[in-house]
Structure 1
Amino acid sequence: MLITKKPQELINILRNGGVFAYPTEAVYGLGCDPDNEQAVNKILELKQRSVDKGLILIASDFSQVEKYLKPLNQDQLALIKPSQTTYIYPARDTAPKWLTGNFNSLAVRISKLAIIQELCSTLDSALVSTSANLSGQEPARSCAEVDSVFHNKIDAILDGETGDLLTPTEIRDSITGEIIRA
C-alpha cells in the first residue's frame, strides 16, 4: 500500500479502479472514481455498508459533479461554492444507482479544504467520499488509524492534515434547507 503526501501519485490508482484514503474536513475519507462501479463496490464491501444508503461526492469545482445532477434553480446554484457543508441535490435519471442508492438525489460537497481542492483538481475528478471506518465504528482521524483498519485492503493513503471540524460535515437539503445531519 502506497502512503504519500503527493496527490499526483494517486492518478493511476484512480484510473485503474483503485481505492484510497485522504483527509477531509473532520476525518479521513475513503474515495474512488465515482463512475467505476467495481471501485465503489469495493468501498462498500470494505466498510460493510449497504449500497442503498447512497454516497457523497466531493469535488473542487461544480463542473466535476454537474453531469450527475438535474439542472439547478437559482437558489441551488447559489449554494455551489467551496464550503464545509454537503448539499443534497436532485440527481439525473442517469446518475449511477451505486452513488444514489435508494434515492433520486445525490449528496455533493464542493470542498474548500486545500488538500481536497488540490486532490480533485490534480485528479480532474470528483471523488466518492465516505468516512474511513467500518460501518458503526468511529471514523479514522489520521493516516495511522486508516492503516490500522484498512492495512493492505486499500491501494493508498494520502497523508495530510484533516480540517478543523470535530464532526463530519453537515448535510442539508438544497431545496428545503432542512438539516439532514448536523
Structure 2
Amino acid sequence: MREEHEKAIATLKRGGLILYPTDTVWGIGCDATNAEAIEKVYRLKKRAANKSLICLVSDFKMLQQYVEDIPEVAYDILKYAVKPTTIIYDDPIRISENLIAPDNTLGFRVCRNKFCNILLKKFRKPIVSTSANVEGAPTPKRFSEIDPVILEGVDYIVNLDRDKKSLPPSAIIKLSNDGKVTIIRK
C-alpha cells in the first residue's frame, strides 16, 4: 500500500489526475488547490464547470483549515452518521476558486477509508473526489465497469481493491451558516 500512496502523491503533486478507491465509489481525484488539475477533471468528465465537485479530508483538523466557519451541528452529524456523509459548507477557504460553487459553498467528506485517509494525511491537502464516470453515465459499481475514456484520461490508477464492489454514493447534507439544514441525498 505504501508504494501506491507514493505514486498517487507524486501524481497529485505534479498536477495529475488519479483514479482511486474511496469509502464509496471509485473516484477521479486531484489536488483541490490546483486550478489546472481541477479543469482536467471537468474536461475528462465532460462536466459543466458550474456543477460542483467534492473534496475528501482526513479529519476534522484538516476540515477546519479549509472551511471558514463549521456549524457545530456538523460535528454531531458526522459523529453519528452510519454511512459516508458529505457536508456542503458555506465559505470554503484556501481551495482553488474553480472548485467553489457559485453560491460560495463546497462539499467535504471526512474519509474513513484506510487507503484514502493515509493518502490525505501524507498529501496534507484535500483531494477532489468525483465518481469515475462521464457526466450523465451511470456511476460504476466496480472497477471493471469504468469507461475506457476515464481509464485513459487519468495519469495514475491506484492498484488496490479492483475486485471489490463499490458502496453506494455518500449522503449529502447542506449546512448553511444561518442554521438551515438541507438533505440533498440520503
Please indicate the TM-score interval, normalised by the length of the shorter structure: 0.7 to 0.9
RMSD: 2.5
Count residues with an aligned counterpart. 178
Gaps of 5+ in 1: none
Contact 1:26 1:163 (8 Å CA) reproduced: no
State how far apart, in whole Å, the 2-side matches of 1:126 and 1:93 are.
11
Partner Cα separation in structure 1 for residue 157 and residue 134 of structure 2: 16
- 1:125 Cα deviation from its structure 2 partner: 2.1
Task: Identify unmatched segments of 5+ residues in structure 2.
Answer: none
Q: Deviations over 1:30-49 (max 9, x none)?
A: 00001110000000000011
The TM-score, its normalising length taken from structure 1, stands at 0.84
**1:46-102 residue CA offsets vs partner (Å, 9 max, x unmatched):** 001111112101011233333331222322344455961001111247643311122
Alignment of 1:1-182 (within 5 A): 6-79=4-77, 84-92=84-92, 95-146=95-146, 148-161=148-161, 165=167, 167-174=168-175, 175-182=179-186
Structure 1 CA distance, aligned partners of 2:77 and 2:40?
Answer: 31
Letter of the structure 1 residue corresponding to residue 112 of structure 2: K
1:143, 1:159 within 8 Å by CA — same for their partners in 2?
no
* Cα distance change of structure 1 residues 60 and 95 upon mapping to structure 2, 3 Å threshold: closer
Identity of aligned residues (%): 30
With 117-126 and 65-74 compared, the bigger mean Cα shift is at: 65-74
1:105 and 1:135 mapped to 2: Cα distance? 21
Would the alpha carbon gap of residues 26 and 72 (structure 1) be closer, same or farther in structure 2, given more than 3 Å must change?
closer
